[in-house]
Amino acid sequence: NAGVTQTPKFRVLKTGQSMTLLCAQDMNHEYMYWYRQDPGMGLRLIHYSVGEGTTAKGEVPDGYNVSRLKKQNFLLGLESAAPSQTSVYFCASSTGWAYGYTFGSGTRLTVV
């Protein structure tokens, strides 16, 4: 099993550009999440989804949008990238809150 796959692994954007990060899981998990990881800040939740067609805001949602059109995919969009969005982005999925999360390998995004 591939588990959780994130694409791309690396990306450099110019301020104001847009992009979409793709997360795909093959474990039939209902719950999917997008986190960002910054030095000294730990993992912070951006958005999450508790099922196909649903999304909700996490701790730091501003500047991001998400969609969950298919159960296996969770997309994270940046409409107008800012240098403050330079970070490592992790996608994760789980069966529910009482179950361990499976993380993807991360996407390193730099906004210049």
Partner 1 sequence: ILNVEQSPQSLHVQEGDSTNFTCSFPSSNFYALHWYRWETAKSPEALFVMTLNGDEKKKGRISATLNTKEGYSYLYIKGSQPEDSATYLCAFKEDNAGNMLTFGGGTRLMVKP
Query: Contact between 62 and partner 1 (CB under 8 A)?
Result: no
| Binding mask of the shown chain, residues 6 to 45, with x at each position contacting partner 1 by CB under 8 A | ---------------------------x-x----xxxxxx
Beta strands in the chain (DSSP E): 4-7, 10-13, 19-25, 31-38, 42-49, 56-57, 64-67, 73-78, 87-94, 102-103, 107-111
Size of the residue set binding partner 1 (CB under 8 A)? 25
User: 29 vs 81, which CB is nearer to partner 1?
Assistant: 29
Q: Does the CA dihedral 89-94-98-101 come out positive or negative?
A: negative
Residues of this chain that interact with partner 1 (CB under 8 A) are 4, 33, 35, 40-45, 48, 50, 56, 58-59, 90, 97-106
